[in-house]
Amino acid sequence: MVGIRIVNIFIKKTYSLLCVFAAVWLSVAGCASPRGGSLEGTAFDPLKPAKYVLQPGDALRILYPSDSSLEVETTIRADGRIALPYIGEVEAARLAPSELTADLNARYASILKRPDVVVLVEKETGRRVYLGGELKNQGSLALYPNETLLQAVFDAGGFTPEAKPGGVLVMRAVPGEGVHILRADVSRILAGVDRDVILHPMDIVYVPRSTIAKVGQFVDQYVNNLIPRPFQFLFTYELHVQPLRISDNQTSFPVNLSRRR
């Protein structure tokens, strides 16, 4: 309870005080390695760049330099697909724009002399994070480059008095790998003991009231309750084809809990 009050006092301070705090924390972190465990090699590796994968609802423009008459403006449907000239239905969701570009050029290689297809993303619906549980303001937030878990908690108004800062969950769906869960201790991050967590598009942050025993069952229910149905595509797909993988920002340990059918 005392730890929660301290966190909320920080949140009530002025913006300039937060900037000073951040500068001091970064300078300390740069001079000495945090005592927390490494997330190297996990889905939450801080050196791994955030990759945006296409989502249903994203607006695309497909350019054909060799034949401008084929140019298409389209929106990824709820089933994750788009329809294009000559090749018909194509899976677009769960791919990075560069991956979709490579796939389209491969498909058009036997149809167009010089495919050189270009994929432009004109509207990104998935560059957001979702926050829920014991936070003063729940819901979705626009995600800024290199935004961290601590910054997201501040943006959500801080913890409620009932929150358990030591058991915060960050959920991340990685195409082809499943849903990864990170258990983070925000109190230790504030103290400079553990590294802050860099958030990726479509991450889910959940602050529990108490320790969650059955993580797998919780994830199924929580994803359905928090993320609007049109944006559940990636999480729902990965939850049903891959096992959950759990890491800790103090000790990294991937765990294969169960495979859903």
Banded pLDDT at 253 (limits 50, 70, 90): very low
Between 152 and 4, residue with greater pLDDT: 152
The stretches of the chain forming alpha helices (DSSP H) are 2-12, 15-31, 97-108, 149-155, 186-190, 215-226, 233-241
- CA distance linking residue 67 with residue 155, whole number of Å: 47
Of 178 and 57, the one with more pLDDT: 57
In whole angstroms, give the CA distance from residue 100 to residue 95: 6
pTM of the model: 0.69
- pLDDT tier at 32 (50, 70, 90 boundaries)? very low
Query: Rounded CA gap, 153 and 242, in Å?
Result: 29
Q: Mind listing the pLDDT tens digit for each residue in 71-91?
A: 999 999 999 999 999 999 999
Q: Which residue ranges form the domains of the chain, and what is each CATH number?
A: 2-50+126-248 (3.10.560.10), 59-123 (3.30.1950.10)
Beta strands in 3-153 (DSSP E): 59-63, 72-75, 81-84, 88-91, 118-123, 128-133, 139-142
